[in-house]
């Protein structure tokens, strides 16, 4: 057992990362301040080009959040009233509300053991009204894109990847966000590429979507004075784009460190709890490291007593949220998701975790068993 007076291991350590890049961030902020241009502009364009290259996509569009990236993708493809969009019931709230906000109906398909949407369940959920699939690369591990893309091709569906948690993850050699019609990323501070406020980005190979999404995010404006359609204001700030550009240069090293920590956790805890593994020919970026045990609540209390913070991502599945009641789902509809929601717990994982803290996390879990 760890000594009770050991330091606390916080679940997140954003201040640590800030300090590690502070000088470059302050310089970037000063450059933006001196440029006199604070919304869109060169810095946003430069970031968009960098992220498109990074993800292996032709284009990228900076927006105000990961949720907006999803929502505007749906709007661009004309998905709304009378349409159904299939997604996972174990994701963050935004994956579902964007579908409803676009006017369409969220339809859930259960997940597999690895927390990602089960392609067989997706195939069963397709109806004549289905227009799109939103696979979520949950916890930073890629969804099984080959069968999902095959289902989409067979039924003529759009694929909008929710890659909010997975920037940099690879599936069969390619980065997530480069498979679907669009890839949607969040730059929220907690994400693997996080800024200092809200931000998001859409990747796409679809040139028409690119030009349209530039307008969707900027009031539907074709140019300063002409409005082609009623759009939204979902622009990425120049200052956040400048911060994101600084941090993008570090992303691969940070993701690699998360992968190393994941390996340490996995090797130390396999056999005691269910641990996430990379599927063959995939490379997760471990935004979260989500273990499972039937005694989850007791384990969390024990870890807390050992000075280790943990969280649940997420305790209430989407189909059981009050907001989703009108959809008519019930407990028991998605047994894998519902069972996992009772057993999952996320361990602290971020590049700045110190070796002693990683040990403390491992000790806290091991000493429970
Ligand atoms: C899976 C998933 N989808 C969508 C979002 C929405 O991103 P944002 O908070 O930037 O709107 C998040 C994160 O919050 C997320 O984790």
Output the CA 165–ligand 1 centroid distance in Å. Answer: 7
295: pLDDT strictly greater than 70:
yes
Is the pLDDT confidence value at 6 over 70? no
pLDDT, residue 2, reads 46
pLDDT at 4 over 80: no
Secondary structure class of 235 (helix, strand, coil) = coil
CB 94 near ligand 1, within 6 Å: yes
Phi then psi for residue 9, to 5 deg, are: -100, 105
Helices 238-269 & 14-35, crossing angle to 10 degrees?
A: 160
Question: What pLDDT is recorded for position 180?
Answer: 98
The alpha-helical segments, DSSP class H, found in the chain are: 14-35, 42-55, 66-76, 93-101, 119-125, 145-155, 207-216, 238-269, 296-305, 335-343, 355-368
Whether 161 has a pLDDT exceeding 90, the answer reads yes
Instruction: Kindly report, residue by residue over 262-282, the tens digit of the pLDDT.
Output: 999 999 999 999 999 999 999
What one-character-per-residue DSSP string does 93-109 give?
HHHHHHHHHTT-EEEE-
Identify the CA nearest to 106 among candidates 146, 76, 136, 61: 136
Domains by residue range for the chain, with CATH: 17-245 (3.40.640.10), 251-368 (3.90.1150.10)
Band of residue 5 on the pLDDT scale cut at 50, 70, 90:
low
184: CB partners within 8 A, 6+ apart? 66, 69, 70, 73, 160, 161, 162, 163, 164, 177, 200, 201, 202
First-to-last C-alpha distance (Å) of the chain: 11
pLDDT exceeding 90 applies to what percent of the chain?
98
Instruction: Give residue 144's pLDDT.
Output: 98
Nearest to 275 by CA among 289, 261, 296: 289
What is the average pLDDT value for the chain, to the nearest integer? 97
15-48: per-residue pLDDT in tens? Answer: 999 999 999 999 999 999 999 999 999 999 999 9
Give the CA distances from residue 35 to residues 63, 79, 304, 355, in Å, rounded to whole numbers and listed in that order: 21, 39, 47, 41
Mutational test site, ligand 1, from 167, 188, 202, 237, max ligand atoms within 8 Å of CB? 188
Q: Are 232 and 219 contacting, i.e. CB atoms less than 8 angstroms apart?
A: yes
64 lines ligand 1 (CB under 6 A): no
3-state secondary structure of 321: coil
Q: What pLDDT, on the 0 to 100 scale, is given for residue 279?
A: 96
Residue whose CB lies within 8 A of the most ligand 1 atoms, among 117, 165, 288, 318, for a mutation test: 165
Instruction: Please report, to the nearest 10 degrees, the dihedral formed by the alpha carbons of residues 80, 199, 323, 336 taken in order.
Output: 90
19 CB contacts (<8 Å, ≥6 apart)? none
By C-alpha distance, which of 188, 207, 247 is closest to 67? 188
Q: Is the CB of 165 under 6 A from ligand 1?
A: yes
* DSSP classification of residue 218: B
Q: Between 361 and 4, name the one with better pLDDT.
A: 361
Q: Which one, of 338, 285, 244, lies nearest residue 51 by Cα?
A: 244
Say what percent of the chain tops pLDDT 70: 98
pLDDT digits (tens, 9 = 90+) for 109-123: 999 999 999 999 999
3-state SS class at 358: helix
Q: To test ligand 1's pocket by mutation, which of 62, 66, 191 has the most ligand atoms within 8 angstroms of CB?
A: 66
| pLDDT score of 3 more than 60 | no
Q: In which band, very low, low, confident or very high, does the pLDDT at 155 lie, cut at 50, 70 and 90?
A: very high
CB 279 within 8 A of CB 114: yes
Residue 1, pLDDT > 50, answer no
Contact call for residues 186 and 200 (beta carbons, < 8 A)? yes
pLDDT (0 to 100) of residue 120: 98
């Amino acid at each position: 057992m760890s000594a009770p007076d050991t330091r606390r291991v916080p679940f997140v350590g954003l201040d640590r990362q800030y300090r590690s890049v502070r000088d470059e961030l302050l310089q970037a902020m000063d450059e933006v301040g001196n440029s006199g241009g604070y919304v869109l502009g060169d810095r946003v364009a430069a970031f968009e080009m960098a992220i498109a290259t990074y993800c292996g996509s032709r284009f990228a569009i900076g927006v105000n959040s990961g949720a907006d990236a999803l929502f505007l993708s749906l709007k661009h493809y004309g998905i709304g009233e009378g349409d159904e969009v299939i997604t996972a019931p174990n994701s963050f709230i935004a994956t579902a509300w964007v579908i409803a906000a676009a006017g369409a109906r969220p339809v859930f398909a259960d997940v597999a053991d690895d927390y990602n949407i089960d392609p067989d369940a997706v195939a069963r959920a397709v109806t004549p009204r289905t227009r799109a699939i939103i696979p979520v690369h949950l916890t930073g591990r890629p969804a099984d894109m080959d069968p999902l893309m095959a289902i989409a091709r067979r039924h003529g569906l759009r694929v909008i990847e929710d890659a909010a948690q997975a920037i940099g993850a690879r599936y069969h050699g390619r980065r997530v966000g480069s498979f679907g019609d669009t890839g949607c990323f969040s730059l929220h501070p907690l994400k693997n590429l996080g800024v200092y406020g809200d931000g998001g980005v859409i990747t796409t190979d679809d040139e028409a979507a690119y030009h349209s999404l530039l307008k969707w995010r900027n009031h539907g404006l074709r140019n300063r004075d002409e409005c082609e359609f009623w759009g939204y204001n979902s622009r990425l700030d120049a200052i956040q784009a400048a911060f994101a550009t600084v941090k993008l240069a570090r992303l691969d090293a940070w993701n690699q460190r998360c992968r190393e920590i994941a390996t340490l956790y996995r090797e130390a805890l396999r056999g005691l709890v269910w641990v996430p593994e990379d599927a063959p020919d995939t490379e997760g970026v471990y935004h979260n490291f989500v273990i499972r045990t039937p005694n989850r609540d007791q384990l969390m209390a024990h870890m807390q007593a050992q000075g280790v913070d943990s969280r649940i991502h997420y305790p209430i599945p989407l189909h059981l949220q009050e907001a989703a009641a009108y959809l008519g789902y019930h407990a028991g509809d998605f047994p894998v998701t519902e069972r996992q929601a009772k057993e999952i717990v996320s361990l602290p994982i971020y590049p700045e975790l110190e070796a002693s803290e990683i040990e403390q996390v491992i000790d806290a879990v091991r000493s429970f068993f």
